[in-house]
Amino acid sequence: MDGEEPFWRRKGLRELDAQEWESLCDGCGKCCLHKLEDVDSGEIAFTNVACRLLDLGSCRCSNYPERRRLVPDCLVLTPDMFDDLSWLPGTCAYRLIAEGKDLAWWHPLVSGDPETVHQAGISVRGRVVSERRVRDLEDHIVDWPA
Sequential DSSP letters for 49-96: EE-TTEETTTTEETTGGGHHHHSTT-----GGGTT--TTS-TT-HHHH
pLDDT digits (tens, 9 = 90+) for 77-134: 888 887 776 678 889 999 999 889 999 999 999 999 999 999 999 999 999 999 999 9
2: pLDDT confidence band, cut at 50, 70 and 90?
low
In 10 A of CB 117, how many CB atoms? Answer: 23
Q: What is the pTM of this model?
A: 0.88
Enumerate the domain spans of the chain: 7-132
Question: What's residue 82's pLDDT?
Answer: 74
Find out whether 92 and 31 touch, Cβ atoms under 8 Å: yes
Give mean pLDDT, residues 1-23. Answer: 89
Per-residue pLDDT tens over the stretch 23-80: 999 999 999 999 998 999 988 889 999 999 999 999 999 999 999 999 999 988 888 8
Q: What would the DSSP string read from start to end of 123-142?
A: S-TTS-EEGGG-S-GGGGEE
